[in-house]
Amino acid sequence: MSEKPPQHAFEITIRIGANTWEYARRAAQEIADYIADREPEHVNLSSGGWDGCYGAHLERRDISPEDYRKELEAWREKQ
């Protein structure tokens, strides 16, 4: 599988760097809360300090579920 699969309508990239498990857990919860409280066009977050850092970025693509399914099936046939 060399080619990447098609992109979904919403893809969120999350990165957490932490010096403690507690920070990692808290950062994951803060990111989840942040995303839950916003519309898709406002999901872009970064924060950091001595204990660690984190970020979340959303990529949005205008595609219907049916078109995504067609692209995915075509991609699978090439693999």
How do residues 25-72 score in pLDDT, each as one tens digit?
999 999 999 999 998 888 899 999 999 999 999 999 999 999 999 999
The number of folded domains in the chain is 1
| The one-letter amino acid at 31 | I
pLDDT, position 20: 97
What are the tens digits of pLDDT across the range 4-36?
A: 899 999 999 999 999 999 999 999 999 999 999
Task: Please report which helix (H) or strand (E) contains residue 31, including its range.
Answer: helix 21-36
pLDDT, position 2: 62
Whether residue 1 has pLDDT greater than 80 = no
Domain assignment of residue 34, yes or no: yes
**What does DSSP assign to residue 57?**
E
Domain assignment of residue 2, yes or no: no
| Torsion, Cα of 31, 37, 42, 44 (10° steps) | -10
Domain assignment of residue 3, yes or no: no
Domain with 26 in it: 10-78
Q: Count of CB atoms within 10 A of residue 78's CB?
A: 8
Higher pLDDT, 79 or 25: 25
d(CA 62, CA 49): 35
